[in-house]
Structures are given as C-alpha cells and as structure tokens.
C-alpha cells in the first residue's frame, strides 16, 4: 500500500512539474512572470519551454494577447500554419490593431494561397502604422503577383522611402519575414 501511495505522489509531482507547477513555474508565479519566462525560453530557442510558459500565462490570464501571439509565432516558425492562424486570430480578438499579429497573419494567409485576405491584412497593418516598410513591401509583392503593376510600384517606392535597404525586388523576391516574439508592454 505504501508503494502505491508513494508511486501516486511521484506521478502527481511529475505531472505538476510538466504542467508548469514544478521548478520554474511556482504556485505564486503571476501571468506576467510566466510570460517573461516564456519570452526568455523563446529567445533562447527553447520552444517547448516557451509554449508551456505561454499556456501557463493563459491559465492565469486568458486574455493575454501576447501569449496568443507568441504561440502563433512559434507555430508559424514550425510551419503549423492553421495553428498559427488560430493563435493570431485569438490575439487579434483581444487587440484588433496588434500590428505584429496582423503582419504575421498576412504572411500565413499568403502561404495558404488566400491572397485577397493577405492584401486586406497588410492594408490593416498600414492603417495601424503607415511607416511599416515590410507591410508596404509585401503588399507590393502581392500586387505584382496579381498583375497590378502600378500599385506594386507605389508600394515598393513607399517601402524604399521608409527603409532604403528595401529596393524594388526581382520577380523571385520573397516577402519580408515574420515579426519576432512580442515582449510584454512596458508599464
């Protein structure tokens, strides 16, 4: 009987640790602490740890748009586009003007072949931040793909004005890459 109880205690401890209740995710850990732990793991390339920390964040603060966004960024990085889209949309439900989520969702929609949605999303990014050179550049690529040369040239010129390193691309150019993990807002 003692062996069975001891086994249950060991198993319970292992499950608690796996769910974030063990080392690194104490009972008194706040949502902000968990998010910061996730960001550190994310930056270090420890994506499984980051995912666990982001889910801990959400268990404490289900309306944390940064945890949803960062889960989307990881899923996108792993080419799990449907999951990435779902996480970005959850972040956008909480903050419809979250520039990085709009930008990355546009990339996902482009990858899924839904060009009209991607164009609409890049326009939303530009409405939030008219100085987002990457959004102008990627929008130009989509316009060029659709044969809308004048619109493409306008977007490329705007992108280059905002970031002189961005030059009118060759036909084989690829879009500007996704945005990075989003840190917590400064308080």
The CATH code of the domain that includes 77 is 1.25.40.10
Cα–Cα nearest to 184, from 94, 76, 57, 26 = 57
Q: How far is CA 123 from CA 50, 116, 163, 166, 172, in A?
A: 31, 11, 18, 19, 23
- Co-location of 43 and 116 in the same domain: no
| Last residue within a domain, chosen from 49, 65, 96 | 96
pLDDT at 171: 62
Please report which confidence band the pLDDT of residue 16 belongs to, taking 50, 70 and 90 as the band edges. very low
Last residue of a domain, one of 96, 117, 149: 96
Within a domain: 41: yes
Q: What is the pLDDT of residue 30?
A: 96
pLDDT at 61 over 80: yes
Are residues 68 and 39 part of one domain? Answer: yes
Q: Supply the pLDDT for residue 28.
A: 84
Tell whether 19 is covered by a domain.
no
Same domain, 134 and 155: yes
- CA dist 48 and 125 (Å) reads 29
pLDDT (mean) for 143-157: 95
Please say if the pLDDT value at position 54 is more than 50. Answer: yes
pTM: 0.78
In this prediction, residue 167 carries a pLDDT of 75
The one-character DSSP state at 22 is S
pLDDT of residue 149: 93
> What pLDDT, on the 0 to 100 scale, is given for residue 175?
63
d(C-alpha 108, C-alpha 42), whole Å:
20
- Radius of gyration of the chain measured on its C-alpha atoms: 21
């Amino acid at each position: 009987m003692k062996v069975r109880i001891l086994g249950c205690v060991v198993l319970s401890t292992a499950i608690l640790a796996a769910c974030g209740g063990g080392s690194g995710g104490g009972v008194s850990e706040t949502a902000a602490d968990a998010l910061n732990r996730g960001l550190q793991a994310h930056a270090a390339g420890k994506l499984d740890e980051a995912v666990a920390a982001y889910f801990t964040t959400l268990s404490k603060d289900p309306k944390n748009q940064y945890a949803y966004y960062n889960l989307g960024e990881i899923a996108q990085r792993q080419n799990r586009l449907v999951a990435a889209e779902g996480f970005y949309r959850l972040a956008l439900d909480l903050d419809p003007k979250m520039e990085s989520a709009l930008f990355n969702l546009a990339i996902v929609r482009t990858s899924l072949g839904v060009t009209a949605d991607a164009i609409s999303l890049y326009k939303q990014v530009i409405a939030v931040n008219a100085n987002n050179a990457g959004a102008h550049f990627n929008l130009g690529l989509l316009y060029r793909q659709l044969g809308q040369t004048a619109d493409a040239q306008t977007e490329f010129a705007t992108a280059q004005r905002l970031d002189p390193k961005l030059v009118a691309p060759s036909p084989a150019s690829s879009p500007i890459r996704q945005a990075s993990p989003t840190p917590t807002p400064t308080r």
